[in-house]
A and B are shown apart, each in its own frame.
Chain A
Amino acid sequence: MRSDPKTFDALVAADQASEMVTFLTTERLLFKNRKTQKIEPGLAESWKLQEQGRRVVLELRKGVQFSDGSPFTASDVAFTVRRLVDPKLNSPKSSAFRSGEAVAKVEVLTPHRVAITFPAIVPGIENELAGIPIQSERNREKAGLGPYVVAQYQAGSLIVLSRNPYYWRTEGGRRLPKIDTVRIAIQQNADTEAERFRRGEYHLLESVDPTLYERLERDLPGQAHDAGPSNDIEFLWFNQAPQAPVAPHKLTWFQSRSFRRAMSLAIRRDDIVRLVYQGRATVAAGLTPPGNKLWYKHGLKPHPFDFEAAKKLLQQDGFVLRGDNLLYDRQGKPVEFSLITNANNKARARIASLIQQDLGKLGIRVNITTFDFPSLVERIGRTLNYEACLLGFVNLAQDPMSGMNMLLSSGPQHMWNPNQKTPATAWEQEIDKAMREQASTTDAKKRKAAYDRVQQILSEEAPVLFLAHRNTLYAASPKLHHVLATNDYPRLLWNAEHLSWSDR
């Protein structure tokens, strides 16, 4: 793990480290199998949707105990849901459980039956339930239902997890987990991490830098693995917000579909994959990676590199390449813009350099400016004082509901033109319509069709130039068995209770 967990409270965990530890120390009503991406029973043996998907009645598993030996009942579920919707807690996991001022209501029907009524229809309700860790009403801080409990924590150094003797899952009549103790090292330096793995001091690396991957693969054959495109994505967008402090002639460029598509066609995404990620990435066709089996739009093609087509689009928009090898717009203004990104990210700095050179061939001058992350967020989220931005998402959630804030034109994270009162363009209006459509039904087919339309519009209009999904690279000792890597967090430890160890 690269950093300390910010909290051990599973309901407020938002950072990757906290999510990892709390995933191992808590249990959920439903279980999402990361391999099949299907929902399976968890603490609830069965569930029934009522009122068009606004209400769910769950039959809880009997005989389940917390790590302190106390029994798990419907009261614990009620306690968790009430705590989750408590505005004072401000849980990042509560969005599906609230709608405006209204919050989800929970009823204990019997000690092992519970009903949750949501304030609005929640598409993908099972996914939501698979994301809520259940806490103990009696001993919230110390008792958990997960396969492990925190036995030791040394800040900045180590977290030791020991097996929960009361964990409910079994395999072949034997209570899981199979491994008694898991030591999670907190190691900021990827190079040191790889070196310690090489020496046999670490047995599982959740993430391996592409620059280190080849060496690990060469030095320890069969121990470094590439699990394909992850849910991480790198992308670039132009600021189209009319209220932004951007020169009007530049706003005109950025609001032009031809200009954006020309930029996209001039970028050599294959070079990004090859040079920045040493080939361990996948060219992105859209926001949703191909590993997301449920929501990826099959047949959606990445924008190809086509320099001539890019030039043609720019010519159609009135841009002219002059003798000084610079591109000028209709008003005779040279095409120059700044590309901001966050400092201290080597891969992103490399991508920016490649884009700078690619667009330079069109006669466009790109000035790369880096900022510390808080300053960058301030610019793209509040002051809008930027022209183009290169950024990425890590572990993008799989269900499109998580993208509402970004894709709806009124959304605060609608990065190219946030918080619109009414959609600025017809295609944004169409995206709004499709996103609302998928959010208002529990019919999986209708939702998929609506989200496919959104992906198609994003590809055609190119408000965001999707670049690459880095692959999930990991390393595992041959002594560790049943490691099933996925592109959904926690990528390797989602089935931690089934992992086993042999010294041979």
Chain B
Amino acid sequence: MLQALAITVLLLLAVAGVFAPWLAPYPYELQDRESPSLGPSAKHWLGTDDLGRDRWSRFLYGTRISLTLAPAAALLTLTVAVLVGVLAGVAGGWVEQTLLAATDLFASMPWLFLLLIIRAALPLNVPAWTSVGITFAMLGLVGWTAAARVVRTAVHTARNDGFLLQARAMGSGFTQIWVRHFLPNLRPVLLAQFWISMPLFVLSEANLGLLGLGVAEPLPSWGNLLFELTSHREVAEAPWVLAPAVALVVTLLAMQRLSRRDWQEGVAR
């Protein structure tokens, strides 16, 4: 029941994001300057922001950006983590030691400054959507180290598990062992890492905005919509501004539910 609900929620949000241009009643950047900071109404379901932009339209477009690019960044992270973690776990010896040392080195690098340098190197007239893509790609490329260590530990555990010995004893070849037995057993770990990374990327994008690295105006994202919630008085007086926060929490809960199911299935298997 809960799983079905989780899937429904995620599907609804995905649909909202994908079909934002059709579902949004107004362009996300349109300023109706005579109607700033309005409450919810039939015309503006979530009211308007302080420049008179329709909050519902901005929420839908923000969903599109965050729910497209955060999973993409999480996948990128996971791909790098799997490559490094599996290679380290399988090869062992000096290869493993070298990869682990490289992972530690990568994790200890001052990424903030490197991100600033990358931003400074980008051309000034980068279209907003390109800037968004670059931001999430950067997030994906710097976030793999913790996941790589988890994958490597999972590979170690699986390597010594009975089912692999049994498969070898039954004469299964290298490819068959990897594709049919090994990788499916890593699935719960990978999914858990995916669900963990995704919300982190949504929030990281908001924080990067402080450095001018996030999603640029007038494009909305959950990150920069959440960043507007700095005044608790404003939240108390206009609770509808919480929509992106509620959406994020609901998404996290749904993802957590799905990741738990994957984990449980993995343990059962």
Contact = CB atoms under 8 A, between A and B. Distances in A.
Tell me, yes or no, whether A binds B.
yes
B212 A372 contact: yes
Given A349-B217, A354-B51, A357-B31, A370 B212 contact: yes
A336 B120 CA distance: 20
Contacts of A371: 119-120, 211-212
Contacts of A336: 125
A369 B33 contact: no
B51 A353 contact: yes
Interface stretch (B92-100, B137-145, B156-164, B229-237): B229-237
B31 A191 contact: no
B36 A369 contact: no
A274 B31 CA distance: 14
Contact of A350 (B51, B209, B230, B234): B51
A203 B165 CA distance: 75
Contacts of B119: 371, 375
Nearest to A278: B50
B127 A367 contact: yes
A367 B125 contact: yes
A184 to B, nearest CB: 23
B51 A368 contact: no
B116 A372 contact: yes
B165 to A, nearest CB: 55
A375 B120 contact: yes
Interface string A337-354: 110101110000110111
Interface string B226-257: 00001111100000000000000000000000
A356 B217 contact: yes
Contacts of A194: 233
A194 B211 CA distance: 26
B126 to A, nearest CB: 7
A44 to B, nearest CB: 47
Contacts of A352: 217
A271 B52 CA distance: 11
Interface string A368-394: 111110010000000001110000000
Given A338-B124, A353-B218, A343 B210 contact: yes
B216 interface: yes
B231 A211 contact: yes
Given A353-B218, A372-B212, A275 B127 contact: no
Interface in A371-424: 371-372, 375, 385-387
Contacts of A195: 232-233
B262 interface: no
Interface string A254-290: 0000000000000010010011100000000000000
Contacts of A276: 50
A387 B124 CA distance: 8
Contacts of B11: none
Contacts of B218: 353, 356-357, 368
A275 B124 contact: no
A350 B217 CA distance: 9
Contacts of B216: 367-370
B218 to A, nearest CB: 6
Interface in B114-139: 116, 119-120, 124-128
Interface residues of B, number: 27
Contacts of B217: 349, 352-353, 356, 368
A108 interface: no
A370 B36 CA distance: 24
A326 interface: no
B231 A212 contact: yes
Interface residues of A, number: 35
Given A350-B51, A353-B31, A375 B125 contact: no
A367 B233 contact: no
A340 B124 contact: yes
Nearest to A353: B217
B212 A375 contact: yes
B125 A338 contact: yes
B50 A350 contact: yes
A371 B128 CA distance: 14
Contacts of A191: 230-233
Most chain-B CB neighbours within 10 Å: which of A275, A368, A369, A375?
Answer: A369
Most chain-A CB neighbours within 10 Å: which of B125, B230, B234?
Answer: B125
A215 interface: yes
Nearest to A219: B233
B211 A372 contact: yes
A326 to B, nearest CB: 14
Nearest to B120: A375
Most chain-A CB neighbours within 10 Å: which of B52, B209, B212, B233?
Answer: B212
Contacts of B52: 275
Contacts of A274: 33
Nearest to B53: A353
B124 A343 contact: no
B135 to A, nearest CB: 12
Interface in A186-218: 191, 194-195, 211-212, 215
Nearest to B224: A349
A324 to B, nearest CB: 16
A368 B131 CA distance: 11
A387 B123 CA distance: 11
Given A338-B125, A367-B128, A275 B51 contact: yes
B216 to A, nearest CB: 6
A127 to B, nearest CB: 37
Given A352-B217, A353-B51, A375 B127 contact: no
Contacts of A370: 209, 212, 216
Interface in A315-369: 336-338, 340, 342-344, 349-350, 352-354, 356-357, 367-369
Given A275-B52, A368-B217, 5 more contacts: A271-B33, A349-B217, A367-B128, A370-B216, A375-B119
12 contacts: A191-B233, A195-B233, A271-B33, A276-B50, A340-B124, A343-B209, A367-B128, A368-B218, A369-B212, A370-B209, A371-B119, A375-B116
The 7 closest A-B pairs by CB, nearest first: A370-B212, A343-B212, A338-B124, A371-B212, A191-B231, A344-B210, A368-B217
Interface of B: 29, 31, 33, 36, 50-52, 116, 119-120, 124-128, 209-212, 216-218, 230-234
Interface of A: 191, 194-195, 211-212, 215, 268, 271, 274-276, 336-338, 340, 342-344, 349-350, 352-354, 356-357, 367-372, 375, 385-387
